Chains A and B, each alone.
Chain A
């Protein structure tokens, strides 16, 4: 892992390379594979499969750009034809969710959603010049897979990088600390939205505060700060 800026040349030994986010092929390199980052961040290399390695640059941004198979939380704000219009990010183009992209949906059995509803979905199609499409069906099983409407609970925004970290690291310190204190249901969207539901409002607010503030805490101060947040809850 190293810090890179655009214009840096990343020499790649084997020709089998998978380009991840924020990495591009350097111009003018035809015979040898040279990569270049497109933004500032930490270069990471992982094994994509036995033959090839994945190169990507980890970088925090504020605007979410849909990528295929991302898990996202969207807000429904309209419907036309057989589609729902979903917002993933303020001031970004809306994305579509087909009414039949729900498990067991048919002409007679359609999901009844209204404006302002939250949906947890998977990005199923990203094509240039065409609207992005979501789906609430698991790609591998063809069943529900945890997607669908999120009712009750509370949704809040975090940094995109932090949302990714939480989604891909379910054993993150913050979660191991939280499960000791309360029961909760959580959905994390890589578009920087987290939905959480607990038994009562006070605990929900405490959890939201802990998760939202923990993106500005270091690992060392995390346990003490969580303790502080929950202490307030007990005294009131």
Chain B
């Protein structure tokens, strides 16, 4: 199973991308560094991240605010925040197809993190490191299933998301992990191991799609 992405499709923002895997699809855009839009948000030593997530149907609710706080945790560690003191970076996320029932957020968050990463690269926002997210479930037999379908997700005992930083094309440090359900410590460690391998298997494709985009920017040379 793989993913589809289109980078730099929006004209009016600095960076944008769509990201689709399994049946989950999102579109994200990044604008920045901007002048701060509301004075109370100004931070004297670092950037202010203005993240908004719009669901595929209906208006944003607490569920989306919850996703915002999780995404902010990832981005605060990966964006070079000190470089953009007193500036604002706007990140817009629009879900196109959630690919999971309302009580789950794991697949959406995975797609959002990956799409925002591609948008940040496209927008030229300074990053401390590359990162990539993946998700998995543990089913009733204790089997780990990577990037589950909606059905697998509903039948699972626990589900997990992990975001790893990438150093020299290899997953390096754990940036963020979130789990729900019942599982043992051993299972969690196993899950993180599997996520790590899964992210490694994506690296060459990620590199290729970004390189294609960069080449398209320099077609004249």
Closest to A222 in B: B220
Q: Which residue of B lies closest to A26 (CB)?
A: B167
Interface residues of A in 215-232 (CB under 8 A from B): 215-219, 222
Residues from 1 to 43 in A contacting B, C-beta threshold 8 Å: 3, 5-9, 22, 24, 27, 36, 38-42
Q: Which residue of B lies closest to A128 (CB)?
A: B85
Known: A5-B207, A63-B32. A219 touches B169 (CB 8 A): no
CB contacts (< 8 Å) of B172 on chain A: these are 7
Encode A48-90 as 1/0 by CB contact (under 8 A) with B.
0000000000111111010000000000000000000000000
The answer to whether A218 and B129 have CB atoms under 8 Å apart is no
Measured CA separation A63–B34 after assembly (Å): 9
Instruction: Tell me which residues across on chain A come within 8 A of B124, comparing CB atoms.
Output: 22, 39, 59-63
Q: CB-CB < 8 A to B211: which residues of A? A: 3, 40
A24 to B126, CA, bound (A): 10
Whether A6 and B85, one on each chain, are in contact in the complex, defined by CB atoms closer than 8 angstroms, is no
Q: Tell whether, in the assembled complex, residue A7 and residue B130 are in contact, meaning their CB atoms are under 8 Å apart.
A: yes
* Interface stretch of the complex, out of A112-120, A158-166, A178-186, A197-205: A158-166
Interface string of A157-196 (1 = CB under 8 A from B): 0010110010000000010000000000000000000000
A3 engages B14 (CB within 8 Å):
no
Secondary structure class of chain B's binding surface, majority of residues: mixed
Q: Known contacts A62-B14, A63-B124: does B221 contact A219 (CB below 8 Å)?
A: yes
On chain A, the residues within 8 Å of B214 by CB distance are: 3, 40-42, 59-60
**A62 surroundings in chain B (CB, below 8 A):** 13-15, 123-124
Beta-carbon contact of A129 and B207 below 8 Å? no
A165, B130: Cβ atoms closer than 8 Å: no
Closest partner residue, chain B, to A41 (CB atom): B214
Name the distance in Å between A90's Cβ and chain B's nearest Cβ: 10
Instruction: Known contacts A6-B127, A65-B33; decide if A60 and B217 are in contact (CB<8 Å).
Output: yes
Choose among A40, A42, A219 the residue that contacts B220 (Cβ–Cβ < 8 A).
A219
Does A98 have its Cβ within 8 Å of any Cβ on chain B? Answer: no
B121 touches A40 (CB 8 A): yes
Residues of chain B from 182 to 221 with CB closer than 8 A to chain A in the complex: 207, 210-211, 213-214, 217-221
- Chain B nearest Cβ from A190, distance in angstroms: 14
Chain B: residues with Cβ within 8 Å of the partner, total of 36
> Are the CB atoms of B125 and A39 closer together than 8 Å?
yes
The answer to the question of B112 belonging to the interface, with a C-beta cut-off of 8 Å to chain A, is: no
Identify which of B14, B15, B128 gathers the most chain A CB atoms within 10 Å of its CB: B128
Query: Is A92 interfacial (CB 8 A cutoff)?
Result: yes
Which of B31, B86, B217 meets A161, CB within 8 Å?
B217
CA distance A159 to B175 in the complex (A): 34
B165 to A, closest residue via Cβ? A7
CB of B35 closer than 8 Å to a CB of A: yes
- Write the chain A residue with the least CB distance to B84: A65
Q: Judging by beta carbons under 8 Å apart, are A5 and B166 in contact?
A: yes
Residues of B within 8 A of A59 (CB): 124, 214, 217
Chain A minimum-CB-distance residue to B203? A5
Query: Across the interface, do A217 and B219 meet the contact criterion of CB distance under 8 Å?
Result: yes
Q: How far is the CA of A6 from the CA of B14 in the complex (A)?
A: 18
| A215 CA to B219 CA, complexed, in Å | 7
B residues neighboring A (CB under 8 Å)? 13-15, 31-35, 80, 85-86, 121, 123-130, 165-169, 172, 207, 210-211, 213-214, 217-221
24 CB-based A-B contacts, threshold 8 Å: A3-B211, A3-B214, A5-B121, A7-B127, A7-B167, A8-B167, A8-B168, A8-B169, A36-B129, A38-B128, A59-B214, A60-B124, A60-B218, A61-B124, A63-B14, A63-B31, A63-B123, A63-B124, A91-B31, A129-B86, A162-B220, A174-B220, A215-B219, A217-B219
Closest 10 CB pairs of A and B: A61-B124, A60-B217, A38-B126, A7-B130, A6-B127, A7-B129, A40-B121, A93-B35, A7-B167, A6-B130
